[in-house]
């Protein structure tokens, strides 16, 4: 069984392949990359993993890359709605040409019903896969602990933790856990047409900051503001308007419960308890 992982030189893709190596022969793994000549791509080849070009803007590269492949993991690429739909359609059409037996897609929490700002495009992309008739698995990843590392570093240097998320909770997850769970799906059986919510413990912003303080030994303070004040502070810091707008919308979505997880399938897919936020931070803040 041949398994192709797109975005293989990225952070999540790398974690998936690292875990697949423990489960299947390297000769059954194909790394889909944008630059086959990169150092990471060469490192895969040195391990006996085939490397193939996968450019989501060029369907012909996907058709060639998916040739002889049984299962494909498609990473969620960045871009506006039109770009995202075009790229997902390219991937699905390439999979259909090659009679791929399963597509695994990294989606967003409760993408089918959520009003969270980032959910809508994932809902569109899930629907494109569903409508193709190709057996699918959606792994809906919650918010990475790693997403907060830049903000944590600023706070360790003396800045407060600024938030307009109120008492909204996030089910933070550790990227290596997501990579392992996704590898288990790709190498396993019985996942056809399943949707999995992959989430960690639900914490407020203050609880997250408390965990950072405990691990780091620092005393980061939390500054709670409303959306208007948050936007103003970001603009005054010289951040681009697009970033300011997206950040404030994300914080609003968190405040309204968009990243709180009522349930999680992560334990089941891992066969163990996932890392807590504190445990993840102990590794990330070394």
pLDDT surpassing 90 at residue 131: yes
The whole-angstrom separation of Cα 56 and Cα 50 is 19
pTM of the model: 0.96
Buried b (16+ CB within 10 A) or exposed e, 207-244: ebbbbbbebeebebebebbebeebbeebeeeeeeeeeb
Handedness of CA 56, 58, 64, 68 (dihedral sign): positive
Contact predicate 163/225, CB 8 Å: yes
The whole-angstrom separation of Cα 155 and Cα 236 is 17
pLDDT surpassing 90 at residue 69: yes
Contact predicate 278/209, CB 8 Å: no
pLDDT of residue 257: 97
Contact predicate 198/181, CB 8 Å: yes
Q: Fill in the DSSP letter of residue 200.
A: -
> Which parts of 133-272 fold into alpha helices (H)?
149-156, 175-187, 205-216, 227-236, 241-255, 266-270
Which domains does the chain possess? 3-140 (3.40.50.720), 142-174+198-262+271-286 (3.90.25.10)
pLDDT digits (tens, 9 = 90+) for 224-267: 999 999 999 999 999 999 999 999 999 999 999 999 999 999 99
The whole-angstrom separation of Cα 227 and Cα 249 is 8
Rounded to the nearest 10 degrees, what angle do helices 205-216 and 149-156 cross at? 60
pLDDT surpassing 90 at residue 78: no
pLDDT digits (tens, 9 = 90+) for 189-234: 999 999 999 999 999 999 999 999 999 999 999 999 999 999 999 9
Number of Cβ within a 10 Å radius of residue 283:
12
């Amino acid at each position: 069984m041949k398994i192709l992982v797109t975005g293989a030189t990225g952070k999540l893709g790398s974690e998936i392949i690292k875990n697949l190596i423990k489960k299947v022969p390297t000769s059954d793994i194909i790394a889909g990359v944008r630059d086959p000549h990169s150092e990471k791509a060469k490192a895969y080849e040195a391990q006996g993993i085939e490397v193939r070009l996968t450019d989501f803007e060029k369907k012909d590269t996907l058709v060639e890359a998916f040739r002889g492949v049984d299962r494909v993991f498609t990473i969620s690429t960045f871009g506006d709605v039109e770009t995202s739909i075009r790229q997902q359609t390219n991937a699905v059409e390439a999979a259909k040409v090659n009679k791929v037996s399963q597509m695994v897609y990294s989606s967003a929490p409760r993408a089918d019903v959520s009003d969270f700002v980032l959910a809508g495009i994932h809902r569109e992309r899930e629907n494109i896969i569903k409508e193709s008739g190709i057996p699918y698995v959606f792994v809906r990843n919650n918010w990475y602990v790693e997403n907060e590392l830049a903000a944590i570093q600023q706070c360790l240097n003396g800045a407060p933790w600024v938030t307009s998320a109120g008492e909204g909770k996030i089910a933070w997850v550790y990227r290596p856990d997501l990579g392992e769970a996704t590898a288990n799906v790709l190498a396993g059986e019985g996942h056809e047409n399943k949707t999995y919510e992959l989430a960690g413990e639900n914490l407020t912003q203050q609880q997250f900051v408390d965990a950072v303080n405990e691990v780091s030994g620092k005393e980061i303070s939390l500054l709670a503001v409303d959306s208007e004040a948050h936007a103003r502070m970001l603009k005054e810091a010289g951040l681009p308007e697009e970033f300011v707008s997206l950040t404030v919308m994300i914080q609003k979505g968190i405040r309204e419960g968009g990243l709180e997880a009522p349930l999680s399938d992560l334990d089941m897919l891992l066969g163990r308890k996932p890392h807590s936020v504190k445990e993840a931070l102990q590794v990330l803040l070394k």
